[in-house]
Structure 1
């Protein structure tokens, strides 16, 4: 069943070590010693006491860690260092984002639209020419004695019910909407970049955890292979260990695949330039003030874009209405052609009024269409504002719960570490546990560590989502908000 000299196959332990182990069992403390992974008994006991205190006092794990308003100080990179890393990557993505360049081209087009509207304030000069006329009628066809010439016409609007001025104002609001569209695209690109950096870091850490799990399974398989070489009756245990090793390899390969996907997504955004991606298990990212972020929702670039579009539509409706009213122009004209008597034509000036008295209701219909488009843009903006508000609230809740779960998984990992060490000692040295118990304990410990990493970095992504929902992610990265 059990031989004391078996411990020498994997651990440097003798009767003295076994005696210490048995004393520990009697006292309720299992020495957490395993090849390659020493652990502090004091630290384990301290963590256990903290977990017990949390249950007794009924406080959350996040509050226990001192993170009710801000995350506790961790050994990882500081928030300032993280923001610098993120900002460098975001600026690299800005320079190569087609969406941002498209928005910038739209803004330049809107600036030209303003110049086109402003040009209508100036006198409009038209040049033309005509050939020598040919007339026909009751007298038959004959040539007029007037000559061909060049025609010049200068027209200035004297009163147009504000049509030109409102056109300019409408174009300016469209330009503001285009400017906000650039900021919206930058916020979107920044969120994608930071999200993928966090995802890549998370998956790389999970790969490291998975690799250690694979190493442990390989260690057990190698140990059992040596045992089976002496004791053929334990070959079933070797089969169980090999099956768990294959599961560990599969989990590691899956994590590597997800890490590769995250890296591809990040490279698509920032290109092939080198980027520093933190690989520590914990970062110092503070939870933002939700009320302050909610107050910034109205300043979100997409909200400003929608409001500018609404104002532009309302002004455009006034332009349509003004164009249906009488227009008064001052006209100056001159032609170089001679009349039928061979005389030069003088300069002419006059006041001209034009009025589209009847258009079959098309003008009124066009006005209503513009107003309804403006109303649609207004409702869309309101819906977007509501979506952003609840995006911040949902992300805040997700950040807190994810970070709390990460703290719970951390404490659970400490406990599962003790369990797997105890099961291993009881199986290998005392023969009071089956190998299946040991393998289940190893798998549970691995799952707890992966759960801690996943929930912690999900919380970091939720924090970034809060800033993105408020439209202040770029400003936060740059340190201006």
Structure 2
């Protein structure tokens, strides 16, 4: 068994290795600044010190000179040649003499088949590629630095938790040791607690080893050891999109790696155009002036010569080189397009995983918190009951271990969620602005180009919500079991709901059957059997957990018409009055039509309602989410006019924060 003294000796060695240099005066001075925005501090340091970022920065700077080199084709070429030497020959009148010559020539390109202009465009695109590669590397480095920072924080917390667990085991060990010495307890109990104490000691050492590893990783990425007394890092959850489709839309507009792939296509297209110049003539304006002090026969006679003219050259055949170069350039364009498609699917996969992780961990945290609180209460209760002989030692040790594991799981989930949010922001290309991190030496896109690339995301990268392919059976079954009046029927067109024998001349008309006359009804499509107020709008109560919102949508449309805004306003008022509540807007579609199209349409409709809650009624984005179920959860499992009207609906699922 590891002794307590040996444990503290090992802990001391680990602490020395972790904190050497962290207590230096420089880091202590920086601690005050970093405590304000710790993630920003760590990320800024990483941008300054990380070799990969510096490499990408100098690659970008190198591309600037490539543009300058390409632009030189527009400027004249000026050459000077001169010679002076001793010559000897066995013919002519003079056998030995000194001869001197000099010539100045100027050549200006007039036409080269647009090779120069296309080469300039190509290198300008390459410069933008290197810029976005720099931004991509900066995003990746900031992500790694932020995660490393969170890992250091996490394992510091886990060390405190493990040490507290060790203290509890040591306390029980001392109590059992005294009882065994007094003959009250059995020796087997001492062996049992000794084994558990060894495990608790091992847990502490494991957490210190983990802290050592993540600190080494932090040092590699950031370039310095973590500073002391850093405040807890807290992310602004306003940056979390309300749907995966919105997240993907943001990513395709901001992802540096995606833009690098787009500009790579433009660069290859410019290269192909430049290769076409080989099939055009070259036209140059040339001028030269030369002087020599002896003629070709060696006679001492000074001669001068000047010429100004236009030179035209046109290659007729060079073995098929130009044709091969052009075909190769076209293939390079195709390669770039597939690289763009690969960047698209990579972003889509990584972002969907990160976004889903955020949502899943968000749902797990309340459960883990409840598990943690219950385990802590059980631990205290079992310890008290053990003291009066109502619980066995095994019960106490199991309760201690379960409480330790539950607290550890809760802490890990908290940090895992922050890591998932950081990863999601990085995939969206929004991590740098979210953390307010940017090197002052990095230029902006506006400084590099006056004509930024515009692309049609829907054609290039269609969005898919992977989560909608799952039926969520357990959730749907639970929802189906709820006896809720709002789930019974949706708003139907008047001609579907009125019996044939009804007297239409009756002065009282109530098209949505909510008991409120049309002229007084400010919510004209409230589903029947819904509890409504005097104005015909949904009446919310603190116990409500699901409500169908009466918003009929036009065919193939996700636009919310003005006359149905009152229902959304009522929901917004309820959320403002109950700040501890969240809402998931669910879109459902009828069974007719294409399944994939219906799912996307239901997503768009749910997103439209969610966006109105956020943008027009200022409901926080972390309280509103949207989801499109498509045809997964029909109320009437058939295709008919009535069934389609019932199945085509919007529901609001209200939960606690």
Displacement of 1:234 after TM fit?
Answer: 0.8
Residue from 357, 365, 372 that aligns with 1:406: 365
Deviations 1:434-481 (A, max 9, x none): 21122111111111111111112111100111100011101111199x
Given candidates 259, 265, 283, the residue that maps to 1:310 is 265
Conserved? CA contact 2:36–2:231, under 8 Å = no
Aligned-pair CA distance for 1:135: 11
Aligned ranges for residues 33-44 of structure 1 at < 5 Å?
A: none
Tell me, yes or no, if structure 1 residue 329 matches structure 2 residue 284. yes
* 8 Å Cα contact 1:285/1:460 also seen in 2: no
Aligned to 2:420: 462
Cα deviations by residue, 1:63-87 (Å, 9 ceiling, x for unpaired)? xxxxxxxxxxxxxxxxxx9982211
Separation (CA, whole Å) in 2 of partners of 1:303 and 1:146:
66
**Which has the larger share of helix?**
1
Distance in 2 (alpha carbons) for counterparts of 1:479 and 1:95: 11
* Cα distance in 1, alignment partners of residues 151 and 123 from structure 2: 42
Q: Measure, in 2, the Cα distance between the counterparts of 1:204 and 1:384.
A: 37
Structure 1 position 130, deviation (Å) = 4.9
* Mean CA deviation greater in 283-292 or 306-315: 283-292
Is the CA contact 1:134–1:142 (under 8 Å) kept in the aligned structure 2? no
Paired with 2:345 and 2:146, the residues of 1 have a C-alpha distance of 24
Following superposition, the deviation at residue 422 of structure 1 comes to 3.1
- Structure 1 residue 266 and structure 2 residue 249: aligned? no
**2:159 pairs with 1:210:** no
Distance 1:296 1:135, change over 3 A: farther
Partner Cα distance (2:245, 2:109) in 1: 52
Matches within 5 A, 1:159-308: 159-231=111-183, 234-272=186-224, 275=227, 283=234, 285-286=236-237, 288-289=240-241, 290-298=244-252, 299-308=254-263
After superposition, the Cα gap between the structure-2 partners of 1:145 and 1:332, relative to the gap in structure 1 and judged at 3 Å, is: farther
The superposition leaves residues 283-331 of structure 1 with CA deviations (integer Å, 9 ceiling, x where unpaired) of 5652701444322222211112222222112111211220342211122
Are the structure 2 counterparts of residues 479 and 150 from structure 1 closer, same or farther at C-alpha, using a change threshold of 3 Å?
A: closer
Gaps of 5+ in 2: 1-33, 439-657
The one of the two structures with greater contact order (alpha-carbon pairs below 8 A, sep at least 6) is 1
Q: Decide whether the 8 Å contact of 2:379 with 2:396 is kept in 1.
A: yes
Q: 1:385 to 1:177 in 2, by over 3 A?
A: same
Query: In 2 relative to 1, CA 143–171 (structure 1 residues): closer, same or farther, beyond 3 Å?
Result: farther
Q: Provide TM-score, normalisation by structure 2.
A: 0.56
Counterpart in the other structure of 1:51: none
User: Cα offset for 1:277?
Assistant: 6.5
Distance 1:235 1:141, change over 3 A: farther
Unaligned runs of 5+ in 1: 1-80
**For 1:208 and 1:233, how far apart are their aligned partners in 2?**
31
Q: Which runs of 4+ in 1 moved over 4 A?
A: 130-137, 139-147, 276-280, 282-285
Q: Which moved more, 1:396-405 or 1:143-152?
A: 143-152
CA-to-partner distance for each residue in 1:119-158, whole Å, 9 max, x for gaps? 2212211222356798999x99997999441222211112
CA contact (8 A) 1:207 1:256 kept: yes
Aligned residues: 397
Aligned residue for 1:112? 65
The superposition leaves residues 375-403 of structure 1 with CA deviations (integer Å, 9 ceiling, x where unpaired) of 22221222112211222221121122223
Looking at structure 2, the residues matched to 152 and 227 of structure 1 have their Cα atoms a distance apart, in angstroms, of: 108
- Give the TM-score normalised by structure 1: 0.76
User: Secondary structure of the residue that 2:312 maps to in structure 1?
Assistant: strand
Per-residue deviation at 1:364? 1.8
Q: Could you say if the C-alpha distance between residues 462 and 274 of structure 1 is closer, same or farther in structure 2, counting changes exceeding 3 Å?
A: closer
How big is the alpha-carbon RMSD for the aligned residues of Structure 1 and Structure 2?
A: 2.9
